[in-house]
Every structure is written in structure tokens, then in C-alpha cells.
Structure 1
């Protein structure tokens, strides 16, 4: 199957609010930038459908979905709804598309499972909302499209699924859904002592949940060791029918919501290393709160997924997309460096591999032999 990107115009004008981290454009930038690069011909783009509530009840409760739709329709929530379902909070505010927008991301991952029935690669940059819980919004995530995508893949023939999450924040919602499931491998790399404050290295399911909390300042050399000694060997040992990679862009140095220091090469190289390890590949977005770094990263990830070469310098049409972005209310947006406009690939950020990182990787790598093999 020719690689496909699923997107939607709903993201172009939708915002969580003037001061929310998700006020910045993300998916629309990816669509515009990949088209300006000539990487997204019409045959490789599909409009993501909006999932209907009935489709979402494979994991979310009907009561929660009803509350979410009502909040969108009325523009308000009452105190009992806020307390029970986590709607109308600072993290999960009421905004005009608060059901339609996440339902579009979920529709994309549900459709991706169907499109990947016979193999292939699909990118859903509007996906990756890995914090959502069955009965409540959580961490900017009203629905958990990652869980829904895994369930769709399974419904469409993928028996063993590896979920790899390289977002700066722990995959708490996905772990809630699949920890202990012998047919789902879960790997999360995330910054330690950062919300949601879950995902300790000692947290494990039945031999196939790997949580790797990481210290501030994580560099590309350290992540290369994580990729080569833990992520890829664990996925190879699991021998999945499908891989889901949550490619959150908030682990790069420029992101305002983490203190990790990766370049986007860490994401590109991890994607490239994982792609040959399963016949079905679903690439999701996730976190990412600097409009330039997230747009460049997810566009570059699409280039890797679809076999495009990333040039050293962007053509004028692509530069114009990036120069049109603004980042109000953040110090990094006041004087953006020139390479945010004229490149996609960052300069690598190598560094020493600290003992605490190497020791944690070695500790988890020692558990790879216990991964349940395919029956």
C-alpha cells in the first residue's frame, strides 16, 4: 500500500484557547509544509473522518461521550460533570470543537486500522492523544485515539501489536488500557518527575511493559543507545504484526513543556529503525507545543515514512509556510532562529551517555528475554 497521511481542515482554525499550550497550529502546518515540499500528492492524502460516538464506545463510556458532546453543544459544563469527567478544567477546557476535533483524530486512527488490514504505512499527525481515559479527559486529551487505533488494528487482523511512545510525557492512558495484555508490547520513554508522574521504571505488566523515565538534558547520543539497546531489540523479540509509534514532538530541545534536549533526528532515526520490523505501521503525533519544531518534526517524519529525501535547505514555498507561523506569549517565539524557517532536519545534539541513562537502559534490556513469544 502506498503510504498515506490522514489530516483535516478542522485543525486549522481550532484552538484550546488563547493561553493554552495547544493554541499553536500543528496538523495544518504539517499539511501545508508537506504539500509545499511536494511530498503529499492528492493520492497520498485522506481526509480523516469524524468518529461517531458508537464507534468510540469500544473503549470510552457512553456517559462520558454524551457529556463531551453536551459540553461542546452548550459551551459549558456543570460542577458534577467537571468532577466526574475532567471537562472544563485548565488542562481540558471547553472550546467550540472539543468533541469534533478529538473525534477527528480518533476517526483517523480507527480508519488507519482498516487501511492497514493488508499491510502498509499510515501517518495520523492529529493522533497520539495518549492520556485520555475511558470516562474522563486527561492531560489535554479528550479521547484516546492511540488506544482506539490499537483496537482497530486488532479488529482488522493484527494479533500482536507493539506500541512505542517517545513523547516527553508518560503513556498513562495507553498503559491503563493494555498493561498485562500479552499481545501488546508497551514501551514509553519520558522525562522523569514530569506530569502525569507515572511510568516508573519498576512499573511493568506481564513481561511486556517497559517504562523508561529519563533525566533532563537527554541528548541524541543517549537516545541512540535507548533505541539500539532497548526499543529495537524489544520490538524484534516481540515480533509484532503491527507497530504504533507515538512520535510526540515535545522531547526536542525547543519545546516549552519539557526539559529534554533531543534534536528531531532522534525521532527520525527511531522511526527509520522501527519501520522494517512489522508489516503494518501506524505513525501518530502527540505532544509538541512549539509550532516550528512540531511542524518540522512531523513533516520530516512523514518524509521518512514515505521515502522522501529531506534537503539541507527548504525551497521558498516551504520556507513561507514556516515564516508565517507565530508563537505569541512564549519567549522562544519572539526571536526564532533562522534554521526554524529554512530547514526541517535539526543539527544533531550529541553528548556523553550518562551512567544513570546507561544503567536504566541496561536494567530494562535485561527483561527483553522475558517478552512472551508469538504462539
Structure 2
């Protein structure tokens, strides 16, 4: 094994871009890449260029008619009426030139990560360009055209015959992945997210447990708005640990949206960089405990691209290469390079100051409510 971990990257991944002012901005992937390069902790030998997913691979999850519609949209040949029926050309998912090619490359990048791990070339692989968990079989949704995570899981099932534990820590519920495998007992989904009472997509209730043979293999922990680090980490650590013990996967696949941070403009949680230090640590530990280290990680949400995403996503890679104890100031050359482009003052340090937000008045009430939610979520496996 040449490298324990693989980093899937090319500047071509930045072509998935709806518009200059759309909140989903893949410049964040480049910012993270440059931060790791500034640290001298991402070697050229670690970097694997992505490939484009084939139509046959996309059709493992997506309706061929939807794939054709995405192609036509990217060529400017899709009518508005047909586009709307496929979720294309909406405010969330507007049409852009080359839409199919850019979207299929994100999927192919995740498939590259899968093949690198499942063929034994590395233990871990990271594709920060992926994590588009809202895509459905025949519809784009929530900034997501094709669902790279769902395609990758179905691809792993077909090619490698493995049981997959999918863990989603995006503030938005991982609906597209959950519904794809809702009746499949060989894929276990766990999503820890802000309650859908306040936030898109409005799903992810504790009662969504799967159907048919898949009943009991879908787990959701909807957290109350304004949840802080300690309560968030209690939910994550408890649920991930117990679900992994219950399911005993062959491979762990994590979606690493970083929009639970207090600074994120689209959500209402109050986490800090503290949770982004711990999220990859537990994934890494459990991958070695149950899966001989097999861990595939993708990106996801994260809309404060300057202050939050680069630090949080860098910590996934640094955990993979066992350098995650990094602390103190960020590289000054990275700050100097990107500050002129940034719309906000870039952070100077890896960790947040404890005073980034005022005290939450309902702290104890929120913690109690979240703890009860975790108990309800895990009730079926605790009472077998």
C-alpha cells in the first residue's frame, strides 16, 4: 500500500457552479486544498485525479430520462416546463453550461475514492467535491443534481458485495441517500441533523426507520435549533458508536457537511470547530474497529466558505494521515493569498474563540430534548 490515504482532487471539480452568487460554492474545495498544501501535509503522491462517471454508473440510482434531461439542460436545450418537472432550473438548482459533465465528474470522483479503498490501494479516501445527498432518482434537489453518495454505495454493493454504513453529519437531513436505500438491509443510514421543523428538506424524523426488509436500518437524530457542541457530540458519539456495533459494516462512508457551525448562514445550530475535530476521529476509530480501516469520506454542505469550511474539511484529511492534533495559527501565506478575495476576515487560528456567540438561554432545555431524541432513535437496538 503506497499511501494509507488518498485525496481525490482536480481543479475540474470547481466547474460544478450554479452562479457567482449561489450559496453552493466549490471554491471552498480549492481553499481547503490550498490550506493543506500550505501546511505541507498533502503530497502530490496522495492526490488522485477524478474520472467522470458513466451513464451506466449514474443509472445505478438515477432514471435515464433524468440523466438525458440534465444533459439537455447543460446544452441549453431543455424547456423550462420539463426542467421544472426534474427539479432543474429552480432557484435552488439553476441550470448552468456543462451541467451533466460537471455533475458526473463529482460522482466519478467519489467512485474513484471507492475503488481506491475497496481495491486495497489505500485504507481511506476523501473527495471533498462530493456529498450531494439531496439528489433523487428522477429529480435534482437542494443544490444537488446527481447523488454521488447513493451512486457510490450502489456501486460498492454491485462491484464489491459489501454492507455499507452511511453516516451523514450535514445540518440538512440526508434524504436522498436514505430514501434510495430505505428498504435495503445491507445499507444502514445514520443522519444527525437540525430538525426539519425549521430547515430544508423537512424530513429526518426519528420515526423514519426503513421499510420492508430495510426496516430498522435507517436512523435519524434530529437536533433542536441552537444545539451547541457538547449536546451535538453526545448525539453523534452515542448514535454512531451504537449503530456501528449493531450493524457491523464492511465499510464506513461519511458525508461531512460542515453547516452545523454557528457561522453558517443557512442553518440554526450553534456548533464550533470543536465538533469538526471530533467527527473524523470517531469515524477513523470505528473504521479500524469494524472495517479493517475502510473509510470513504465526502464533503457536503457548508456555506461559510471562508471562516468554516477550509478548517473543518482540512481536519478530515489530517485525521486520515494522523496529523489532526494541529493547533495554533493558520499558515500566514494561505491567509495572505486568499484574504483579498474573501468577503469576510479569514480566521487566524484553527480553533474558535469561546465567545463567538452569546450564551444560549435554552441550553439545558435543548440538551434534555436532544438526549431524549437520541434515546428514541436508538430504542430499537437497545431493546432487542
Provide the TM-score with structure 1 as the length reference.
0.90
In the other structure, the counterpart of 1:155 is 158
- C-alpha separation in 2, matches of 1:244 and 1:139: 21
- C-alpha separation in 2, matches of 1:321 and 1:158: 45
Contact 1:29–1:321 (CA under 8 A) maintained in structure 2: no
- C-alpha separation in 1, matches of 2:218 and 2:320: 25
- C-alpha separation in 1, matches of 2:27 and 2:310: 8
Where do 5+ consecutive residues of structure 2 fail to align? none
Task: Say if 2:334 is the partner of 1:318.
Answer: yes
In the other structure, the counterpart of 1:131 is 134
The structure-2 alpha-carbon separation of the partners of 1:321 and 1:263, relative to structure 1 and needing over 3 Å to count, comes to: farther
The structure-2 alpha-carbon separation of the partners of 1:50 and 1:133, relative to structure 1 and needing over 3 Å to count, comes to: same
- Equivalent residue runs for 1:182-331 within 5 Å: 182-192=185-195, 193=197, 194-205=199-210, 206-277=215-286, 278-279=291-292, 280-292=294-306, 293-309=308-324, 310-327=326-343
Where do 5+ consecutive residues of structure 1 fail to align? 328-332
- C-alpha separation in 2, matches of 1:78 and 1:45: 39
Q: Structure 1 residue 322: deviation in Å? A: 4.3
Contact 1:77–1:87 (CA under 8 A) maintained in structure 2: no
Give the 3-state SS of the residue equivalent to 1:250 in structure 2: coil
Give the 3-state SS of the residue equivalent to 2:296 in structure 1: strand
Q: Structure 1 residue 259: deviation in Å? A: 0.6
Q: Is the deviation greater in 150-159 or in 266-275?
A: 150-159
- C-alpha separation in 2, matches of 1:107 and 1:275: 23
Contact 1:263–1:346 (CA under 8 A) maintained in structure 2: yes
Q: Is the deviation greater in 152-161 or in 95-104?
A: 152-161
In the other structure, the counterpart of 1:363 is 376
- C-alpha separation in 1, matches of 2:161 and 2:28: 30
The structure-2 alpha-carbon separation of the partners of 1:183 and 1:12, relative to structure 1 and needing over 3 Å to count, comes to: closer
The structure-2 alpha-carbon separation of the partners of 1:301 and 1:324, relative to structure 1 and needing over 3 Å to count, comes to: farther
Q: Structure 1 residue 270: deviation in Å? A: 2.1
Contact 2:114–2:125 (CA under 8 A) maintained in structure 1: no
In the other structure, the counterpart of 1:330 is none
- C-alpha separation in 1, matches of 2:116 and 2:251: 12
Write out per-residue CA displacement over residues 238-277 of structure 1, whole angstroms, 9 at most, x where no aligned residue.
Answer: 1111011111011111110101111132133122112122
Alignment partner for residue 178 of structure 1, among 178, 181, 184? Answer: 181
How much is the aligned-residue C-alpha RMSD, in angstroms?
A: 2.1
Contact 1:24–1:289 (CA under 8 A) maintained in structure 2: no
- C-alpha separation in 2, matches of 1:7 and 1:199: 31
- C-alpha separation in 2, matches of 1:153 and 1:320: 42
Q: Structure 1 residue 370: deviation in Å? A: 6.7
- C-alpha separation in 2, matches of 1:143 and 1:306: 29
- C-alpha separation in 2, matches of 1:227 and 1:196: 20
Aligned length: 360
Provide the TM-score with structure 2 as the length reference.
0.88
Alignment partner for residue 345 of structure 1, among 351, 371, 374? Answer: 351
Give the 3-state SS of the residue equivalent to 1:26 in structure 2: helix
Write out per-residue CA displacement over residues 146-198 of structure 1, whole angstroms, 9 at most, x where no aligned residue.
Answer: 10121232234252110000101111100111112111111111111211111
The structure-2 alpha-carbon separation of the partners of 1:62 and 1:77, relative to structure 1 and needing over 3 Å to count, comes to: same
- C-alpha separation in 1, matches of 2:32 and 2:272: 18
The structure-2 alpha-carbon separation of the partners of 1:102 and 1:346, relative to structure 1 and needing over 3 Å to count, comes to: farther
Contact 2:6–2:113 (CA under 8 A) maintained in structure 1: no
Contact 1:51–1:104 (CA under 8 A) maintained in structure 2: yes
Give the 3-state SS of the residue equivalent to 1:135 in structure 2: coil
